Amino acid sequence: MVIPKKPIIELFAFMFSNNIILKDDLSSSTYSWGTNSFWATPKSFYAPGSYHTTTGWVIDAGYGNDLIDASSSTEKNVLSGGNGVDTILGGSSVDRIDGGEGNDILIGNGGADIFVLSKGKDVIKDFSPTTKIVNSVVIDFEGIASGEGTQILDGYKGLEWGVDAYAVDIQNYPGSGYTTVASGQSVGLDWFARGTDFYDPVNDFDFASGDFASAWRNQTNTIFAYDDGVKVGTLTFVSDPTQKLSVDFLAGTIKDQANNVIPGTFTGRFTSIDKVAIDSFDGIHVAMDNLVLNYMLITGNGDKIDVADGFNVAAYIATATNDGNGNAVLTNGNNSLTLVGVAASDISTEWFV
């Protein structure tokens, strides 16, 4: 038989329900079993030195219905409930939280926490994965043009504009490509047909789409995408003053108002860029409107769920249902995992490691 090396009282302690309240230091953390407090001395938790490391707590509460509360900790803790119905709260930093067998309640609090998938009907109350949200900015030029031509100033739509970026009011230019392309009263152009550009000094964006026409006669246009000063994408196409051409930079297509596909040569990328330059070969103003820039916003703490090697994540995600109270429920045999506040349809393979 294997002779236990731990003090016998410790083995008993971990068979019963524990209340373990963790701070960032041993002296102010408390541990109790029943009515007895066993955190009598600052450096004693039955296994001296093995529960608080230089990076945080390593706790395995063992058998019993335990509370491990590290919500006041700012360290990187490894918290295991063991068997029983456990409640585990992480702290403000990156915690690894394992409910173990039994129906556990898990709360990560701040940080990119890792929740270990375990047996039982577990609930993660604050699962906060990385979420990407697209925020679209539409450059419609409305409200700029007051006359035959008005310069677009830096700051419009959060961008820096080239000196020849102007807007015109279409009532001054009947029969032109400005009127063709306009969805409102004001459209953009390159003043003196010298080409122009816009630049975001802070955030990268995807140039999603835009409407273009030549102001006065057919001409070849070029649109360049830059990232950190390097040209990364090019579109060349022929525009027409009588046709509003809608360019989808993400799909790499150009269509006219009748939905006919118009030839264009796309190279490189228009995603994750910070500058767009618009020019023409033929000395005619480029009329443009409804330029759509997509910004990717990243939200969430980056929490993940740790599954065993070889675990079929796709099949697991396919089990996800909504419980009717705004929570997603994943099932695996007799086990379930409830993600509070998460829609089943949002669950992503990227959440699993």
Q: Are the C-beta atoms of 62 and 15 separated by less than 8 Å?
A: yes
Segment 155 to 194, residues that bind Ca ion, using CB under 5 A: none
Q: Backbone phi, then psi, for 349, in 5-degree steps?
A: -60, -25
Q: Are the C-beta atoms of 265 and 238 separated by less than 8 Å?
A: no
Q: Which is nearer to Ca ion, 108 or 210 (CB)?
A: 108
Nearest-angstrom CA–CA distance, 96 and 329: 21
Q: What binding mask, one character per residue, do residues 122-141 give for Ca ion by CB under 5 A, x or -?
A: x-------------------
> What region does 11 belong to: left with phi over 0, alpha with psi -120 to 50, or beta?
alpha
Decide if residue 210 touches Ca ion (CB under 5 A): no
Of 29-37, 60-68, 292-300, 318-326, which segment contacts Ca ion by CB under 5 A? Answer: 60-68
What is the enclosing helix (H) or strand (E) of 248?
A: strand 245-248
How far is Cα of residue 327 from the mean position of the Cα atoms in its chain?
20
Of 105-113, 238-246, 281-289, 338-346, which segment contacts Ca ion by CB under 5 A? Answer: 105-113
Task: State the minimum distance, in angstroms, from the CB of residue 103 to Ca ion.
Answer: 6
Nearest-angstrom CA–CA distance, 103 and 92: 24
Decide if residue 195 touches Ca ion (CB under 5 A): no
Task: State the minimum distance, in angstroms, from the CB of residue 129 to Ca ion.
Answer: 14
> Letter for the amino acid at 112?
A
Out of 120, 162, 177, 233, the only residue in the binding site for Ca ion (CB under 5 A) is 120
Task: State the minimum distance, in angstroms, from the CB of residue 42 to Ca ion.
Answer: 24
Out of 90, 129, 177, 241, the only residue in the binding site for Ca ion (CB under 5 A) is 90
CB neighbour class for 312 (10 Å; exposed up to 12, middle 13-18, buried from 19): exposed
Decide if residue 18 touches Ca ion (CB under 5 A): no
Q: Which is nearer to Ca ion, 104 or 169 (CB)?
A: 104
How many other C-beta atoms can be found within 10 angstroms of the C-beta atom of residue 103?
A: 17
Segment 250 to 279, residues that bind Ca ion, using CB under 5 A: none
Out of 69, 75, 98, 104, the only residue in the binding site for Ca ion (CB under 5 A) is 104
Q: What binding mask, one character per residue, do residues 69-88 give for Ca ion by CB under 5 A, x or -?
A: ------------xx-x-x--
Cα Rg of the chain, angstroms: 30
Of 111-119, 177-185, 208-216, 313-321, which segment contacts Ca ion by CB under 5 A? Answer: 111-119
Q: Which is nearer to Ca ion, 84 or 241 (CB)?
A: 84
Alpha-helical (H) ranges within the chain are 8-13, 177-181, 313-318
Q: Are the C-beta atoms of 103 and 121 separated by less than 8 Å?
A: yes
Nearest-angstrom CA–CA distance, 296 and 293: 10
Give the contacts of 159 (CB within 8 A, at least 6 positions apart): 139, 198, 199, 200
Q: Which is nearer to Ca ion, 69 or 122 (CB)?
A: 122
Alpha carbon dihedral 56, 78, 90, 93, in 10-degree steps, equals 50
Task: State the minimum distance, in angstroms, from the CB of residue 35 to Ca ion.
Answer: 19
Q: Backbone phi, then psi, for 158, in 5-degree steps?
A: 75, 15
Task: State the minimum distance, in angstroms, from the CB of residue 311 to Ca ion.
Answer: 15
Of 54-62, 144-152, 231-239, 251-259, which segment contacts Ca ion by CB under 5 A? Answer: 54-62
Of 90-98, 163-171, 208-216, 221-229, which segment contacts Ca ion by CB under 5 A? Answer: 90-98
Task: State the minimum distance, in angstroms, from the CB of residue 6 to Ca ion.
Answer: 17
Task: State the minimum distance, in angstroms, from the CB of residue 113 to Ca ion.
Answer: 4
Q: Which is nearer to Ca ion, 118 or 239 (CB)?
A: 118
Q: Please tell me whether residue 350 adopts helix, strand or coil conformation.
A: helix
Decide if residue 66 touches Ca ion (CB under 5 A): yes
Task: State the minimum distance, in angstroms, from the CB of residue 28 to Ca ion.
Answer: 19
Strand 96-98, strand 78-80: pairing: parallel
Q: Which residues bind Ca ion (CB under 5 A)?
A: 61, 66, 81-82, 84, 86, 90, 95, 99, 104, 108-109, 111, 113, 118, 120, 122
